[in-house]
Structure 1
Amino acid sequence: MAFEGFSFNDFWDDCEYAKKEYISNPPTDELISEVEQELGYKLPESFIWLMKQHNGGIPVNTCYHINKPTSWAEDHIAITGIMGIGRDKPYAICGELGSRFMMEEWGYPNIGVAICDCPSAGHDMVFLDYRECGPQGEPKVVHIDQECDYEITFLADNFEEFIRGLVNEEVFNS
C-alpha cells in the first residue's frame, strides 16, 4: 500500500489560495486515464493514490534537502504546491499552468510530467522523470532549474520517497 505508516493529518495547508489555484475534486479513473493519454505517461500509483485522497494543494512542508546548490538555495529546493490530476485548476498537471504549458511556453525539457511549481514563479520546477523507465515505468523525481540552463537535479527514486522527504522551511532557517 502507498505511504504505509505515513500520516497526512497535518500534511496539507488548505488555505483559500490552495483551494482556488490547486485543489480539485478527487479524480475519477476515467479522468486519470484521459490525463495519462493526453500527457503520454502512466502516472505513478503513489501519485494517483495521494491525488484520490487530496487532489493537489499546498503542503505544510515545502522544502526538500539536496547536496548541491540551485538558484534557490545552497542545500535545498522549495515547492509552492503539488499539481493535482485534472484540467480545472490553473495548477493542475493538465491545467492552464500545468505540465504542457511549462514545456511549450517556458522551454522545460520533455522528460515527463511537471508535478510541483516552485516559489520562483516558473524559474524552477519539480518533474516526474521518465527518461530511464520509459512512459509506462516508475519515474524518478527531479528538480529542473531554468535559471541554470535547465539543469536537472535528482531528488528521489519515486514520488512517495519525494513526499516522505519534504521538510518544513524552518529546518533551513536555523
Structure 2
Amino acid sequence: MIRRAEEDLGVRLPRSYVDVLLLRNGGTPRNLCYPTLFPTSWADDHFEISGIRGIGGTWGIDSSSGRGSSYLISEWKYPDIGVVICDTPSAGHDTVMLDYSECGPEGEPAVAYIDEDRIPRRVAQSFGEFLARLVPCGSIN
C-alpha cells in the first residue's frame, strides 16, 4: 500500500511518517496543538490538528474518491508543494502538508502549515520533528 501510495502521489514518503502508518494508519494523536512563533487564524501562538491522514480507503492521502491530498490541494487552493497529511478543526480553511518544494520528490520533506492566506510556513524540518513538537492543547498559554 505504501509503495502504491508513493507512486500515486509521485513522492517518497518520509520514513518517520511511514513508521507511524505501520503502527496506525491515520488517526487522532493524543497531542493536537502545535506551538508557533507566528499568529494563525486559529490562535496567536499555535494551530490545532484533528487528525493525521493515513493511506488507502476513502480518506487516505492517496484517495481518488475526492478526499485525498490531490483533491484537497485543488479544492482548497493549497499551494502544490507536496502532500496534505493532517486534518484541522476548520475543515479545510487551514492544513498541514509535507513540503517537497526544496528537497524534490525523492528527498526528506519539511512540514508546512498552510493558513487561510495559502502561504506555506515551515514549522518543522521533518515529520518526526513535527510529531515531537505536538503538545496537549491545554498546555499552551
Bin for the TM-score computed over the shorter chain: over 0.9
Quick one: distance in 2 between partners of 1:155 and 1:161? 9
Q: State the match for 2:81 in structure 1.
A: 111
Instruction: Assess if the C-alpha contact under 8 Å between 1:83 and 1:98 holds in 2.
Output: no
Contact kept? 2:51, 2:86, Cα under 8 Å: yes
Classify the secondary structure of the residue corresponding to 1:105.
Answer: helix
Q: In the alignment, which of 65, 68, 72 is matched to residue 102 of structure 1?
A: 72
Match of 2:136 in 1: 168
**2:48 is equivalent to residue 78 of structure 1:** yes
Amino acid at match of 1:76: H
CA distance in structure 2 between the aligned counterparts of 1:97 and 1:78, rounded to whole angstroms:
20
Q: Which sections of structure 2, spanning at least 5 residues, go unmatched?
A: none
> How far did residue 89 of structure 1 move?
3.6
Structure 1 residue 33: Cα displacement: 1.0
Identity percentage over the alignment? 48
2:28 to 50, 58, 61: 58
Say if 2:111 is the partner of 1:141: yes
Residue correspondence of structure 1 range 8-87 to structure 2 within 5 A: 31-86=1-56
Q: Is the CA contact (8 Å cut-off) linking 2:33 and 2:48 kept in structure 1?
A: yes
| Structure 2 residue 100 is matched with structure 1 residue 153 | no
Q: What is the TM-score of this pair, normalised by structure 2?
A: 0.94
Matched, 1:128 2:98: yes
Higher CA-based Rg = 1
Moved over 3 A (4+): none
**Which structure 1 segments of 5+ residues have no match?**
1-30
Q: SS of the residue aligned with 1:37?
A: helix
CA distance in 2, matches of 1:61, 1:97: 24
Aligned-residue Cα RMSD (Å) equals: 1.1
Contact preservation (8 Å) 2:79, 2:119: no
The alignment covers a number of residue pairs equal to 139
**Normalising by the residue count of structure 1, what TM-score does the alignment of the two structures yield?**
0.77
- Write the distance in 1 (CA, Å) between the matches of 2:112 and 2:24: 22
Query: Which residue type is aligned with residue 86 of structure 2?
Result: C
